[in-house]
Structure 1
């Protein structure tokens, strides 16, 4: 899965070449093997655990797969957007387009089984189909600014947590605080703009076939327009198809964006079919909501919040299926980073620590108001043929653009 479409910069390429027979390299492989064995054993134990069962086990494994793909393909929305905005390199954007194309086909098939008649006025169960309002636009802009300020999206910080990032814990902690601000501002926004906002789901008018045709046509046009921003392919030396080549291609080099996106799309369809749509903020938001509820800091009623699908939050006393997914994501990324030699602990800088925390706060607020982040509202929402996904995606991209123009990303 070599990088046929070039990445953004040298930091996103393969890990530096080093001997695979040194004690340090062997230790990395042993630890990585133990991590993946422990994850498999944990999934097995979850199938029989009271209150969990197969959905939790499947969510853990889905998270592991997602963490490996995210880490090996460098699938971070901020990095992908930054490469295009700063360097006019659209190569990594094809990972997002491929993920949306593959997941759109899969969602259309799954929707047909869950809701055969989309014109009935009902929505596909649990899909990320949300209201389109000014609050969604503002949430996307704020989320994008938070991405630029912290140096990654929430899912990006989760997989970088597995790489030993010093800033990821601060950004994730900030997102928990941001969710709290989101809960405090929700009722006013709901009454002001959200309650009367339209919920636009394309299959209501075009059916699944027509919606998929429009979906693929839009992605195809974007792919064609972006071709002019794909740099020329670098020359690649001829290599024999041997174990060394396979090792480097699978475990050391950055994966091809098209292959990465296709795998993300397949994982997303499997997650929706078996458990719930992909998303990485439901457990984070639920943690904040639970703490605020126990402390008496929540409003008496969060108007209409629990009636929406997406990365729904609730008061919980245990790890939810989404929680197992993000645990698997971080640990799967950790195992992949160990094998690739990309795991590295470093001390954070003071300025970067502050901006990571503040960026996390902005992302947490945006994710709470938008009912999800770039994986949930954007990726799963667009795959579900929801207009809210496209609106949120455009707002996030604009927010990142503004943040880069203001050079907010230079702090981390």
Structure 2
């Protein structure tokens, strides 16, 4: 038990610290792909996937860890992740992003997190667990991409690494936009850790390495999985309601560690501040959290569980989920950002015409 608590908190703390300091926000990245044609955060995610893929397949090859692709619950993944993509835009962050932003003092993230955790518990063990199981029963027998094509897993991993390297190099060769220089108030390591802007690609490498570390640490406690947010979040709610200590696994302390690590990073970098949203934003954040919990539970993982871990495992579940999540994010971005702006522009145009007449 002590090992589980310590290693879970440490791994989660590292992840929360890195994501907070590197502003590793997949929601903003997917939204920017649609709104501003900026793919940098998506490329950062590919780096994290590639790094983790190399690590976990190497660990599996040497017998350090074991994992199975399982079956591909395609209907649950498609429905769940489209809803999840909409939810993360309304909530202002994905599941992991909501945990680390809550550590920064954002009350809106706490509201979204509450909705996400409760709905996850409802979907997994509550009144809607039967619905979750029935949708998940529609599946394809093969989830492994290498197995589907009869190829070596290392061939697929190498292909992903090559594509990622090409996209990253092309991105790095683009003309750089000059950002206003921050006046350094600290020196040495303190400046690098808490003041200097972290490049998203550097942050992604660290996230990938932490994701690799999670596998042996988790499996040492009997939990044969890597990073995961949704089930541990639901387990916290179940424990608070039932007091059942058997559901307190390594993943629970991982997510609590994310909160603590983000809080430490935000405090040390002077970015921690309680910020309360208005009533409308609070309602939207809560609705987003509910949709996140619904979608992630139905699809068997959040943006980390599917978008980072299952993709690194080279499964259909991971890559299909990632594509559908991006589509859901773009759909929500249209209704939340693009359409309101178009209406305002039309209203101004109409007003100008009427004034001229």
Q: Give the TM-score normalised by structure 2.
A: 0.82
The whole-number CA distance in structure 2 between the counterparts of 1:409 and 1:176 is 30
Partner of 2:202: 259
Distance in 1 between residues matched to 2:173 and 2:75, nearest whole Å: 31
Answering whether residue 270 of structure 2 is matched by residue 341 of structure 1, we say yes
Question: Which residue does 2:352 correspond to in 1?
Answer: none
Aligned-CA RMSD value: 3.2
Residues 310 and 317 in structure 2, CA contact (< 8 A), matched pair in contact too: yes
Map of 1:210 onto structure 2: 155
Q: In structure 2, how many angstroms separate the alpha carbons of the residues matched to 1:95 and 1:130?
A: 28
- Structure 1 contact 157–172 (Cα < 8 Å) conserved: yes
SS in 1 for 2:62: helix
1:340 offset after TM fit, Å? 0.9
Corresponding residue number in structure 2 for 1:356: 285
Superposed displacement of residue 218, structure 1: 4.1
What residue in structure 2 maps to residue 227 of structure 1?
A: 171
Residue 49 of structure 2 corresponds to which residue in structure 1?
Answer: 100
CA positional deviation for 1:232: 2.4
Contact 1:59/1:321 (8 A) holds in 2:
yes
Task: Please state how far the C-alpha of 1:125 moved relative to its aligned partner.
Answer: 3.6
Higher helix fraction (1 or 2): 2
For the 8 Å contact 1:133–1:198, the answer to whether it is kept is no
Q: Distance in 2 between matches of 1:228 and 1:269?
A: 25
Deviation readout 1:304-328 (Å, 9 max, x if unpaired): xxxxxxxxxxx75563211111111
Question: Secondary structure in 2 aligned to 1:347?
Answer: coil
Q: Deviations over 1:129-183 (max 9, x none)?
A: 5514122011111001000111101111111111101111111110123224524
Q: State how far apart, in whole Å, the 2-side matches of 1:250 and 1:136 are.
A: 37
Deviation at 1:291, TM superposition (A): 7.4
Is the contact made by 1:287 and 1:316 (CA closer than 8 Å) also made in structure 2? no
Give 1:77's match in structure 2, choosing from 20, 26, 39: 26
Distance 1:65 1:105 in 2: 20
Counterpart of 2:355 in structure 1 is none
- Normalising by structure 1, we get a TM-score of 0.72
Q: 1:149 to 1:181 in 2, by over 3 A?
A: same
Q: How far apart are 1:284 and its partner, in Å?
A: 1.4
1:236–1:150: structure 2 CA closer, same or farther, 3 Å change rule? closer
CA distance in 1, matches of 2:31, 2:175: 15
User: Cα offset for 1:228?
Assistant: 9.4
Q: Distance in 2 between matches of 1:218 and 1:201?
A: 19
Contact persistence 1:62–1:271 (CA under 8 A): yes
Instruction: Answer whether contact 1:128 1:386 (CA < 8 A) is retained.
Output: yes
SS at match of 1:69: helix
Is 1:187–2:130 an aligned residue pair?
Answer: yes
User: How far has the Cα of 1:289 moved from its partner?
Assistant: 5.2
Cα distance per residue 1:304-358 (max 9 Å; x no partner)? xxxxxxxxxxx75563211111111111111111111100112221011101111
Q: Distance in 1 between matches of 2:165 and 2:88?
A: 27
Deviates more, 1:137-146 or 1:199-208: 199-208
Matches within 5 A, 1:4-83: 52-83=1-32
Q: Does structure 2 retain, via aligned residues, the 8 Å contact 1:91–1:229?
A: no
Which of 229, 239, 261 is the equivalent residue of 1:280?
229
Aligned residues: 330
SS at match of 1:348: coil
Pick aligned residue for 1:200 from 143, 148, 163: 143
Following superposition, the deviation at residue 209 of structure 1 comes to 2.1
Summarize the Cα distance change of 1:196–1:98 in structure 2 as closer, same or farther, 3 Å threshold: closer
Task: Kindly indicate whether residue 90 of structure 2 is the aligned counterpart of residue 149 of structure 1.
Answer: yes
| Stretches of structure 1 lacking an aligned partner (at least 5 in a row) | 1-51, 116-123, 295-314
